[in-house]
Amino acid sequence: MDEAEREWWRRLPRVLTSPREVFAAVAEPDEDDVRARQEPVLLIVLAAGTAGVLMTPTWGTLMDNPERDSLVVAVLTFLAGGMYGAFAYFFVGGALYLGARGMGAEGRFRLARHVLAFASVPVALSLPIVLPVELLAFGGDVFRSGGSDEGALGGLVVALGLAFVAWTVALLLIGVRTVYGLGWARSAGTLGLLALFLAAFVALPSAL
């Protein structure tokens, strides 16, 4: 591991405390620097994807099937998290790219993906925080419908997860403003277009 790669690993937690500094580095177009950040980006994508999968309603019913034990759930979560993360990285990254272009920003598709990745660090961080809390509080009921996690305490855990998502949205706004040099209004407009593209994609199958 060379110094540039070590520096990107050091920047990974700093995006939570000094996001403008990290996103300014993300804007660096040097190919060696871009290659140096690939492994941190991969880690974020995998962790955020896994955290995202665990937030879906489907994962709250996996163990309703008695043939699925904790090992099967762990394997399914790992595999689905990787696929979910990769899909979000390219698809949501593409929507972010189109949103930025719609607001008059320049930059490559890869740049939009990297902005999304580093903005997603809070969601990735939620994985080693929220999941252990859920498992300690509710055990296997986390993956069963109608379990103990559906009470008030379960609602608090869900709220905790959503707080990490909101943190990611805030970082994404800062990242768009820093990387593309847009004002706050156009940065917010970029996220608005991103949301519009994603909503249109979700609604498209129903309209056909």
pLDDT tens digits, 40-98 = 999 999 999 999 999 888 888 888 888 888 888 889 999 999 999 999 999 999 999 99
pLDDT for the residue 15: 97
Residue with tokens 């805030």: 170
Q: Note if the pTM is more than 0.75.
A: yes
Tell me the backbone φ, ψ of residue 67, rounded to 5 degrees.
-80, -10
Residue with tokens 């990242």: 175
Residue with tokens 């997860």: 161
Residue with tokens 């593309």: 180
Judged against a pLDDT cut of 60, whether residue 135 lies above it is answered with yes
